[in-house]
Structure 1
Amino acid sequence: MATFTKYVAKPFLNFTSTTKICPLLPQFPSNYLPISSKSKQNFPNSETKRHITVAKATVAPGVKKANSEERVKKVHTSEEFDEALRAAKNRLVVVEYAASHSINSSKIYPFMVDLSRNCSDVDFLLVMGDESEETRQLCAREKIEKVPHFSFYKSMEKIHEEEGIGPDQLVGDVLYYGDSHSAVVQLHNREDVEKLIGEHKVDGKLIVLDVGLKHCGPCVKVYPTVIKLSRSMEDTVVFARMNGDENESCMQFLRDMDVVEVPTFLFIRDGKISGRYVGSGKGELIGEILRYQGVRVTY
């Protein structure tokens, strides 16, 4: 779990025990990206390199074969890169920095291709760092030293980055930073919370409020489960999310709710907070939701 005791001085209320979370380990180690301006003699041209990368990657079991018409856009210059970020406006942009010599870049690329098929409201870019002097300069500008490296942008601002991650974490990051269409209600201030609570005082639905921070690994890890539950339990449970570090109003709400560790899930019914779960355990979260719905759960 992530702790932000420097923001909150109040003691934690003893609703449920805290779950310890091990740090996420990358499934693929990173490779250093050569920054030298001298191109290697055995580099094929840029288009050939892309096909080689995809061909190597498609040997992984369960990965669909990529074709030349994917939604992943390859950029060759800093100007193309900046224009792609401008054109995306407020949409999430996921950038993979790769290299033709990197086996790990080849392994992760098809998973980004699959995500591009399923996430139509997210833009995906590929930068081959060893393609040319211009792409090397772009990587140097963005301080990319190892590949595969993923950066996430919104409104031309870098909001998150990861190095050497595997498919599950990539999917989790895209869902966490790009979610704009699931059944999870996105809350941006205290007024949003109060409005949501007011809307469900009458119908008696349980509200599960997922409180996290923008760069919290365990928050990202559990979020795909939150999305799945929001769809399977939509008749009886309302799921919502707030990032405490989005603005001062959110941070003050966390202080008022005595939240000192994230992710914290607040359970709200009939306008009152009836309990909470702290941690990213999927089974434990589901068990707590069922318990607050009145379902007897034994461990």
Structure 2
Amino acid sequence: KEDPVKMISTELEFQAMLRDAGEKLVVVEYAESHSVNSKRIYPAMVELSRTCPDVVFRLILADESEETKEMFRREGVAKVPHFIFYKSGEKVHEEEGITEDMLLGDVLYYGDSSSAITQLHSRGDVEALIRKHRDDGKLVVLDVGLKHCGPCVKVYPTVIKLAKKMADTAVFARMHGDENDDCMAFLKERNVVEVPTFLFIRGGEVRGRYVGSGKGELIGEILKHQGV
């Protein structure tokens, strides 16, 4: 099979790749060909590239040429493997020395386009979602976080699994509080001071909240508010 993780060898290739990716998440591993740690994490990235077709995965090797070394210097990469996440041509996140599970969490958090999770971008979006489900008996679980939030990333794979499993009885949504001023105003209105905060909404009203990233605790709170 053709390796789905293509190498970037020049600055022109890098810029063209970002341009062609558009709004898709781009994950670039900055590595070295003789690095044991780079070789260890690479198979996980290949597997993710096959299971996450909406995400672009690329590899840059520092020891390939002087041009790739300059790309490392430009991005401030000193140790490998180093992962940088880009969206719409901008750097949105980076990680160094991460595990396979952490890489998966990052990819899901920054690149999720799952229809199981409703993405909210304003107070108006929240209000519309609440109105839509005010009378259908479903529990609305609103995951409120920030773009750069370790605990938010950690729990997000669980949120996706729960959203798919509970689709008949609950609606899952998320909002990044630091996406814009309107989202930040929503956090202040709802007195959200720590993230992730999960708001449980039923019948048009907030019935409770859970603050934290514990998987078991989150599941317990959801079941409690579902009346299970």
Deviations 1:122-177 (Å, cap 9, x if unpaired)? 00010001111111011111111111000000110000000000000000000000
Picking from 72, 94, 97, the partner of 1:161 is 94
CA offset at residue 70 of structure 1?
2.0
For the residue of structure 1 that corresponds to 2:34, the secondary structure is coil
CA offset at residue 182 of structure 1?
3.5
Partner of 1:269: 202
CA offset at residue 181 of structure 1?
2.4
Does the CA contact (< 8 Å) of 1:182 and 1:227 recur in 2?
A: no
**Residue pairs, 1:84-99, within 5 angstroms:** 84-99=17-32
Does the CA contact (< 8 Å) of 1:207 and 1:237 recur in 2?
A: yes
| Pair 1:72 & 2:5 matched | yes
Does the CA contact (< 8 Å) of 1:70 and 1:117 recur in 2?
A: no
Number of aligned residue pairs: give it.
Answer: 228
Alpha-carbon separation, structure 2, partners of 1:81 and 1:143 = 16
Alpha-carbon separation, structure 2, partners of 1:204 and 1:129 = 55
Q: Which amino acid aligns with 2:145?
A: G
Alpha-carbon separation, structure 2, partners of 1:182 and 1:200 = 17
For the residue of structure 1 that corresponds to 2:174, the secondary structure is strand
| Pair 1:109 & 2:39 matched | no
Alpha-carbon separation, structure 2, partners of 1:81 and 1:233 = 40
CA offset at residue 261 of structure 1?
0.2
Deviations 1:261-295 (Å, cap 9, x if unpaired)? 00000000001000000000000000000000111
Partner of 1:182: 115
Partner of 1:25: none
**Residue pairs, 1:96-245, within 5 angstroms:** 96-245=29-178
Alpha-carbon separation, structure 2, partners of 1:249 and 1:70 = 42
Q: With structure 2 as the length reference, what TM-score do the two structures score?
A: 0.99
Moved over 6 A (4+): none
Alpha-carbon separation, structure 2, partners of 1:195 and 1:105 = 45
Mind listing any 5+ residue stretches in structure 2 that lack a counterpart? none
| Pair 1:291 & 2:224 matched | yes
Alpha-carbon separation, structure 1, partners of 2:118 and 2:169 = 15
CA offset at residue 194 of structure 1?
0.3
* Aligned-pair Cα RMSD in Å: 0.7
Deviations 1:184-214 (Å, cap 9, x if unpaired)? 1000000000000000012010000000000
Deviations 1:210-254 (Å, cap 9, x if unpaired)? 000001000000000000000000000000000000000000000
Task: Report the identity percentage.
Answer: 68
* 152-161 or 70-79, which deviates more: 70-79
Does the CA contact (< 8 Å) of 1:208 and 1:265 recur in 2?
A: yes
CA offset at residue 101 of structure 1?
2.2
Partner of 1:248: 181
For the residue of structure 1 that corresponds to 2:63, the secondary structure is coil
Does the CA contact (< 8 Å) of 1:94 and 1:150 recur in 2?
A: yes
Alpha-carbon separation, structure 2, partners of 1:154 and 1:112 = 18
Mind listing any 5+ residue stretches in structure 1 that lack a counterpart? 1-66
For the residue of structure 2 that corresponds to 1:253, the secondary structure is helix
Deviations 1:96-119 (Å, cap 9, x if unpaired)? 000012100000000000000011
For the residue of structure 1 that corresponds to 2:213, the secondary structure is coil
